[in-house]
Structure 1
């Protein structure tokens, strides 16, 4: 059973149990439940994909966290943990149904992760907050409530990061510490904005009542807009790089799909080695653009078979490719990787640690693709044997060992 299934089952069971408890006890302060439920549903309906692997719904997350931490004079009875979970689960379902009907992308695993993390935040907040504590204008109450809110959102962030790291480890075959590091970076950037929004919603609504959400929703909408702009820019950037990479295929200097196959293998090895997201992106772009230099050669390799050329010819092509990429003005890191992608390990990175590890990954990925890719006829075992003969001289031992693990897990182009 995959981690995604476990998360969905856990989130679904948690939501169902909370709903049954809430129905049995009765819904308290229903105007607040409806208002925050509507915010969660609207947030789900306008969710978007901030990168290639995860959807984000900042309004939904902030509203759910805010509802979990309501405590003030505007509420006679604050929502208990079960009601918080039930409202979050029902509102989440109400938000994703229109997307499903309209054929828009949605991610049930991410939705269930939110239910689980909000449940943890509500549980911790309720456990550390005395029943008589509320926003009543007293600093003796305000400080403990602020600390309780901080503890609640921190718990939600930690739980979501741990669950996300487990998912990434399973899906991408990344080391767990590297996956957890990346999730915590996301929490520090995007999660912080959502947590602050939740705290503002909780504090404002606790004091001002239902007048507060319309006021607090403005910065949440600005956050949503900023995230969407960032996601759109990333998609445009990626599309542009892929279009540049296809130029060698159009010119007949690489076989159809060769650059994409090289990039997919390079990404698999980068994940195996636990590179950061920024380095992973540069690695993928470098692998996609590794053959661009052939466009300027008088006698390019037919079908991209650069292994048939001499060392000097390959390094010249890499230098030309790096110069072309540098002219974009925004891909300097990618250009540096491409520049050294045909250096031998012994004369390159073994004696110069400033040469990026990513260059060695692209070098090995290129070699393996040309040995195993379409029309070559070599088996993965035979290709690994050929590459193994160059360990320590032509190829970085760390990278070759990573390739063995990736291929051993059943990687196929």
Structure 2
């Protein structure tokens, strides 16, 4: 067998699915809006050109911040800002069709240079933005009366702000629902858990992008186009902070993977064993609906679960740690946890590793403080050593062997999750 692919690569082999629907929906919305805009004419060309340019630039400088999705905060803020224009400086605000058409064309204008330059790009996420901005524009226009304009009164200001907030919130909720459905299909996460994760992310990164959009809309609507560059400055700072965070995440992940390879180099685990165990552990964690932070800790724990073996006298034959005595495995887990704790930032990972060899009957069954992630690593490692490279057992035979240890060695909930994951066709 070949080395284990990444989680993203494994799911990509299953086809786009919902991604295709999103691309088609976004394309149809864009084309229809473009035809309608061409028929009725473009209003306020200067606003359309400036906000379109911001969206395109935002697309060109998009980046991956959370390991699974590209982000384009400037493009999102600019699109939301354009959808909520309404003030003294805007003679005739753009309608829904024009908002969608400008967003769609600008999105394509930003994607093309990235594709030509060979940079990573994610059209599905970009077209999700087109759909969510269309919803924001529809809500904004639906809440405000026809030809509403701000005359300086407090009452109208409240109505305008409420409409803007509702529009931005509706865009976030729609994007969260679409994203949750996509995660459910691609990663087999329970929909409630996927929606929870999307809403949490919306409350973090999405809130910053929404506020940026409102600032752009307010500045341009009440002061004029010259206010837009001033508002873009904090957006650029936000973009810089997001990129620094993404860079730190990548460095962190690379460091953990390098540490994990030390056991393979020393012969205490077979080549690719840690990566295969982590891939399976992540698949089980997705099935059980763990939060993103717990998923990250689970992946790191699975990668580093064999570090403690380096303190043992000799490697196991073929890296099969299950051939060692219970005492040796638990001592290795304790040593590994101590090593991980010395990093000062992986305490939860260390706790998972410390209990990753505890028998379920004498561990989590009697002590709820032991994380379920420890049981996941235990089951994932056992399955990998039975089915992984050079082991020779079939998935059915491995499941039968693991099934004999349900309730004693292995957590029943985790084993049942493993059955579902394997039943859906998971392969190393």
TM-score, normalization: structure 1? 0.99
Which residue pairs with 2:50 in the alignment? 35
**Mapping 1:313-332, distance limit 5 Å:** 313-332=328-347
**CA-to-aligned-CA distance 1:251-283 (integer Å, 9 cap, x gap):** 111100000000000000000000000000000
- Measured in 1, the distance between the counterparts of 2:87 and 2:419 equals 59
**CA-to-aligned-CA distance 1:390-411 (integer Å, 9 cap, x gap):** 0000000000000000000011
Instruction: Choose the corresponding residue for 1:194, options 209, 216, 222.
Output: 209
Runs of 4+ in 1 over 3 A off after TM superposition: none
How many corresponding residue pairs?
Answer: 413
Which residue pairs with 1:357 in the alignment? 372
- Measured in 1, the distance between the counterparts of 2:281 and 2:175 equals 28
**CA-to-aligned-CA distance 1:347-374 (integer Å, 9 cap, x gap):** 0000000000000000000100000011
Q: Is the 8 A contact 2:88 2:221 kept in 1?
A: yes
Q: Is the 8 A contact 1:318 1:341 kept in 2?
A: yes
Which segment drifts farther, 44-53 or 352-361?
Answer: 44-53
**CA-to-aligned-CA distance 1:221-261 (integer Å, 9 cap, x gap):** 01101100110000000000000000001111110000000
The DSSP-based 3-state class of the residue aligned with 1:209 is coil
Gaps of 5+ in 2: 1-15
1:8 paired with 2:28, answer: no
**CA-to-aligned-CA distance 1:38-85 (integer Å, 9 cap, x gap):** 000010011101122100000000000000111111111100000000
Q: Is the 8 A contact 2:267 2:315 kept in 1?
A: no
- Measured in 1, the distance between the counterparts of 2:399 and 2:286 equals 19
- Measured in 1, the distance between the counterparts of 2:352 and 2:369 equals 11
- Measured in 2, the distance between the counterparts of 1:295 and 1:309 equals 13
Which residue pairs with 2:349 in the alignment? 334
1:312 Cα deviation after fit: 1.0
Which residue pairs with 1:170 in the alignment? 185
Which residue pairs with 2:241 in the alignment? 226
Q: Which has the higher contact order (CA 8 A, sep 6+)?
A: 2
1:408 paired with 2:418, answer: no
**CA-to-aligned-CA distance 1:83-126 (integer Å, 9 cap, x gap):** 00000000001111111111111111011100000000000000
1:71 paired with 2:86, answer: yes
1:139 paired with 2:151, answer: no
The DSSP-based 3-state class of the residue aligned with 2:362 is coil
Which residue pairs with 2:3 in the alignment? none
**Mapping 1:168-317, distance limit 5 Å:** 168-317=183-332
Gaps of 5+ in 1: none
